[in-house]
């Protein structure tokens, strides 16, 4: 069993995050505009499902690894924004 963790988008992910997933997270983070009003950035949550890492941003973006080990970003269909 592996426990998850949280961190602020734009910050360095924890060491438990695989490098391929880090690249996907970085790609998503790069699309988030800076808030000039000082609002906090959203947070990532890392969880593990059947031994596979899943990173979910508070906004509903999910980054997982595909069968080839490459990062894939998608929106959560249950986030209420669809």
- Sheet containing 71-75, strands listed edge to edge, beginning at the edge strand earlier in sequence: 5-8, 43-49, 52-57, 61-65, 71-75
Residue 15 main-chain phi, psi, to 5 deg: -60, -25
Half-sphere exposure of 70 (CA within 13 A, CB side): 2
Write down the pLDDT at residue 1. 47
Q: What is the pLDDT of residues 19-78, one digit of tens each?
A: 999 999 999 999 988 777 778 889 999 999 988 999 999 999 999 999 999 999 999 766
Model confidence, pTM? 0.84
């Amino acid at each position: 069993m592996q426990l998850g963790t949280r961190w602020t988008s734009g910050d360095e992910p924890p060491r438990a995050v695989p490098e391929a997933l880090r690249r996907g997270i970085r790609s998503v983070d790069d699309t988030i505009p800076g808030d000039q009003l000082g609002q906090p950035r959203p947070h990532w949550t890392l969880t593990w499902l059947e031994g596979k890492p899943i990173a979910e941003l508070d906004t509903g973006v999910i980054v997982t690894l595909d069968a080839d080990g490459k990062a894939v970003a998608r929106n959560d269909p249950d986030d209420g924004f669809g």
